[in-house]
Amino acid sequence: MIRTKPDHSSTSACSPPDQPHASALSGILPACANTFSRRVAQCRAVARLAALVVWVPLSVGFEACLLPVPGTAKIRWTRVIWGVLCKILGLRIRVIGERVGTVGGRAARKRGERPVIYIANHMSWLDVPVLGTLLPSVFVAKGDIEKWPVMGLISQIGRTIFVSRQRNTTGRERDEMISRMNSGDNLVLFPEGTSSDGSRVLPFMSAFFAIAKAPKLRARDAEAAETATPDDSGMTPLIQPVSLVYDQLNGLPLGRFRRPVFSWYGDMDLGPHVWQLLQWRTGRATVVLHEPLDPDLFPSRKALAQATWKAVAEGAATLRQHNPPRVLPGRFDPATLPAAFLPPYVRKTKAVLDRLASFFASIRK
């Protein structure tokens, strides 16, 4: 994969092109101004790095204490971890559209709420804190991350599902994901299989959608749901396409030459990439939550993968061109969606009808 680098011909010798303050004006400003700007950026990076060193161990340690606790506390706390991390990095998040699905939990499955699989494009390790802040879910990651010294432990405590993409483990990994959805979790998938440079959305691998096209099974009562196995209970999940683009840097629109500030791909080292990012003052990520897709309305997983890719790719292309983002329509049965996703007038009508139904049911009794 080729990494595009900016033209550094206009930068001065005392202003390294890797530094965030370097620009076309660096040749005009005095050398002392460039040096001062570089020192300020480095001090900012050191302060943020110190905040990360304090926040990550404390928050992840508390998350480990919540793992045996039943309910959705660990899901809610994970979102807090990612949200604070984004603030430390100076990353603002703009959201377009409405999220499908709630925090989840076993109680949500008992009341008939369908699980949701969020499908997003993948550019960087930053995608995880950004999407983790917005989406109550767990991530599906490649098995190599589980062996990383620090990130592997953090991912395990964060209940990440690791997949190896080997034929002899496909069935077991698929059963684990189905089991997690049946127990109340939503999932985040990156079907590109790898991160990109942000200039395009790579084709989606249809194998990632096998879990979404699993046979639809009948809902069980509360007692059966407690002891259900991945193969005999559950509901077909909804698919929500998600377009993610980093579109601002220091309050200015992000051009293609500056995308490597956020994008982490190919053989780029993680340490230098994080250090460079920490020196920038602010950044912004825009997330477009498109309307959901119902796998039952598609003839095959390839057709589902293509429809999802089209929504994600078109949304990301619009954001990269700095055009007004729009939510692309989906294919779904409105009766299967959570009431929070429906328009306000539909919600009010539904609430009135539910009250009338409860009233007549009590009279009948």
Q: What is the pLDDT of residue 227?
A: 45
pLDDT in tens, 43-63: 999 999 999 999 999 999 999
Task: Give 239's contacts (C-beta < 8 A, 6+ positions apart).
Answer: 116, 117, 119, 209, 212, 292, 293, 294, 295, 304, 308
Q: Which of 55-64, 97-106, 216-225 has the lowest mean pLDDT?
A: 216-225
Torsion angle, alpha carbons of 56, 59, 62, 63, to 10:
-90
Q: What is the pLDDT of residue 340?
A: 59
Q: What is the rounded distance in angstroms from the CA atom of residue 249 to the CA atom of residue 91? A: 9
Q: What is the pLDDT of residue 149?
A: 62
Computed over every residue of the chain, the mean pLDDT equals 81
pLDDT in tens, 258-271: 999 999 988 888 88
pLDDT in tens, 11-41: 333 334 445 444 444 555 577 878 888 889 9
pLDDT in tens, 146-178: 777 667 777 888 888 888 766 655 677 788 888
Q: Is the pTM of this model over 0.75?
A: yes
- Per cent of the chain over pLDDT 70 is 80
